[in-house]
Amino acid sequence: MGTNLARKILSAHLAEGELTPGTQIAIKIDQTLTQDASGTAAYLQFEAIGLPRVKTEVSVSYVDHNMLQMGFENADDHRFLQSTAHKFGLFFSRPGNGICHQVHAERFAVPGKTLLGSDSHTPLCGGLGMIAIGAGGLDVAVAMGGGAFYLIMPKILGVKLTGHLQPWVSGKDVILEMLRRLSVKGGVGRIIEYTGPGVESLGVIDRTTITNMGAELGATTSIFPSDEQTRLYLEAQGRGESWSAWSADPDAEYDELLEINLDELEPLIAQPHMPDNVVPVREVAGIPVQQVSVGSCTNSSYRDLSIVAYVLKGKAVHPNLSFTVSPGSKQVYATVARTGALADMIDAGARMLESACGPCVGMGMAPPSNSVAVRSFNRNFEGRSGTKDAKVYLASPETCAATAITGVITDPRDLGDYPDIAMPVRFDINDTMIIPPATESEADSVEILRGPNIKPLPRFGQLENTISGEVVLKVGDNITTDHISPAGAKVLPLRSNLPALAEFTFERVDKTFASRAREAVSGFIVGGSNYGQGSAREQAALAPRYLGIKAVMAISFARIHRSNLINFGLVPLIFHSQDDYNLIDQADRLEIKNVREQLRAGSEVVVRNLTKGLEVTLSHNLSGHELEILLDGGLLNHLKVQAANN
């Protein structure tokens, strides 16, 4: 049998291990990216590692999240990021240049390469034939220093696409169909590789929409082949020399298979409050809507906005709603301006926002209270929009535009003829908003600019041999990193200020959590299945650790969050069953004796529930590498121990 594409690229970058699903491997990383909400901590961590310069082929620092400058914090952090990039050898994408994933696809993505990004939607670049993986900022800092990225080898799920998308159906509907079938947990432990005759009919924009939202499936990454469509895209970006063909062998073998007939897809929509709560648009058509937003890293391309402009031309946004558009990059913004599409949207009443994540991450444009919002974004978690009681639906730009002019959720097929949007043969390239790094000789004289919002990294000790305390919080299934460490205009600017940020931990679940955790001094969190899904934000592990949490027990963990827990010295333990989960309640006092010896001895760990007078046996699935990191109290400590021993 032949080899699939994911295994080909992983094999070419394999640093340790064998490509056997379920076993630990390490891969060499060619490129990294950070965004400003995660980048401040990542560069403090890179600085703590002690290397003068990045060792990757390309590393880029983007500013796209913390764009609302309501105080000095964001502006100061931008100066910090620009100065660290200049000194350490990174490209710096200035505020206003665009959303990291959109810009990276335009200017830096290379088929066959590996990319590690401190943002969960980094897999967008898998649409151009890369192995692109989201991770915590500390893992990215290590990769910038030339270190390998460790992960559990996923299964490869082959998704065979047949047929062609019908009018008013787009790549967004393909990934919503995947979520409908598999759920937000269905991609855990998997790389999703798209194959089959239907692939060649999808342009890069549809492909990157699909791979971007593979994060919502919980997948390690998603990937399309690099083919003629990829070549045309890169040539349009003036980067034709970066193209090379990458594809699976004709008789490639997959661990699992799934098939989607594109001919049969119709416009789909994800209902509140999960991306997998998917139904056909026609089933919810007619619901009045108060806000529509197009943009985010998922659907903010030239093609997306051109379709919106086509629908809006000569019409007006419905008077009962507000309609916002966020172009994904400066290039997209400038191109729709040159073609006249921008004027068509403005004339119709669209509110044009800057090229940034914006409303998707709660940075402005919160919907009205108790309202319905339809967004072309990737997440609709409760409260993420900034309005806790808003009902947020996720849909394609086509559905969003149709809804914007009718005022109710509308199947775009009701609009009539579908536009034929031609992609430019060559975009106008203007990279003045990307600042190259200083040369090595110049770097010594570069001063890192630190505002008062940049706080030093906390120092943690090694894992204690006995950990005890109360269960500070018990939660259910599908707890997201938005639940743990909220985004939004109020909290996101504090990502480099852990003492201030920690006060908001679990604020949307229990406003007393931070104070109770501090009072407990040492404590535990209990969660259900898929604990920590969503964003890659490592602060969702770092803040609880700072507040005294020592271990998190859950039925299952999301991949990135589990890694972040280990990187900051928190023990991730797994319940064997729902019945065992039911044996521990909030406020119970727990004790784990000889935890270091128990972790080393095998996969089981005995937890004593002192309140109920019983014992519960949990398990861990730590690799040898992860175990050593955990015993040392986290990845930075582990690197220092390694350096001292060499």
Q: How many Å apart are CA 170 and CA 401, to the nearest integer?
A: 13
Answer whether residue 646 shows pLDDT above 80: no
In this predicted model, what pLDDT tens digit does every residue of 154-181 receive, in sequence order?
999 999 999 999 999 999 999 999 999 9
In this predicted model, what pLDDT tens digit does every residue of 476-507 receive, in sequence order?
999 999 999 998 888 888 888 999 999 999 99
Catalytic residue among 30, 77, 119, 344, which?
119
HEC secondary structure over 372-417: EEEECCCCCCCCCCCCCCCEEEEECHHHHHHHHHHCECCCHHHHCC
Q: Is 384 a catalytic residue?
A: no
Residue ranges and CATH numbers for the domains of the chain are 5-264 (3.30.499.10), 268-415 (3.30.499.10), 467-645 (3.20.19.10)
Confidence bin at 26 (pLDDT 50/70/90)? very high
Catalytic residue among 104, 107, 207, 379, which?
379
Catalytic residue among 13, 65, 273, 375, which?
65
Q: What integer is the mean pLDDT of 292-313?
A: 97
Q: Is 227 a catalytic residue?
A: no
Answer whether residue 51 shows pLDDT above 90: yes
The pLDDT score that the predictor gives to residue 496 is: 87
Q: Is 537 a catalytic residue?
A: yes
Q: Are 522 and 462 in contact (CB under 8 A)?
A: no
Q: How many Å apart are CA 294 and CA 632, to the nearest integer?
A: 45
In this predicted model, what pLDDT tens digit does every residue of 225-284 receive, in sequence order?
999 999 999 999 999 999 999 999 999 999 999 999 999 999 999 999 999 999 999 999
Share of the chain above pLDDT 90, in %: 91
The pLDDT score that the predictor gives to residue 69 is: 85
Q: Are 386 and 366 in contact (CB under 8 A)?
A: yes
Answer whether residue 645 shows pLDDT above 90: no
The gap from C-alpha 645 to its chain's centroid, in whole angstroms, comes to 35
Q: What integer is the mean pLDDT of 542-567?
A: 97
> How far separated are the first and last CA of the chain, in Å rounded?
43
Work out the mean pLDDT of the chain and round it to a whole number.
Answer: 96
The pLDDT score that the predictor gives to residue 144 is: 98
Pairing of strands 589-592, 571-574: unpaired
Whole-structure pTM value: 0.95
The pLDDT score that the predictor gives to residue 495 is: 87
Q: How many Å apart are CA 524 and CA 161, to the nearest integer?
A: 45
In this predicted model, what pLDDT tens digit does every residue of 64-116 receive, in sequence order?
998 888 889 999 999 999 999 999 999 999 999 999 999 999 999 999 999 99
Going from the C-alpha of 347 to that of each of 258, 313, 341, 431, the distances in angstroms are 44, 8, 10, 29
Angle between helices 397-406 and 302-312 (to 10 degrees): 20
Q: How many Å apart are CA 73 and CA 68, to the nearest integer?
A: 10
Q: Is 496 a catalytic residue?
A: no
Report which DSSP code applies to 2: B
Catalytic residue among 59, 296, 326, 535, which?
535
The pLDDT score that the predictor gives to residue 422 is: 87
In this predicted model, what pLDDT tens digit does every residue of 412-455 receive, in sequence order?
999 999 998 889 999 999 999 999 999 988 998 999 999 999 99
The pLDDT score that the predictor gives to residue 490 is: 86
Measured from the Cβ of residue 518, the count of other Cβ atoms closer than 10 Å reads 15
Pairing of strands 114-117, 278-280: unpaired
Q: Is 181 a catalytic residue?
A: no
Confidence bin at 376 (pLDDT 50/70/90)? very high
Q: How many Å apart are CA 630 and CA 539, to the nearest integer?
A: 17
Q: What integer is the mean pLDDT of 190-209?
A: 98
Catalytic residue among 537, 561, 620, 638, which?
537
Nearest CA to 152 out of 248, 246, 219 is that of 219
Q: Is 510 a catalytic residue?
A: no
Share of the chain above pLDDT 70, in %: 100
The residues that bridge with 190 in the sheet, in sequence order, are: 155
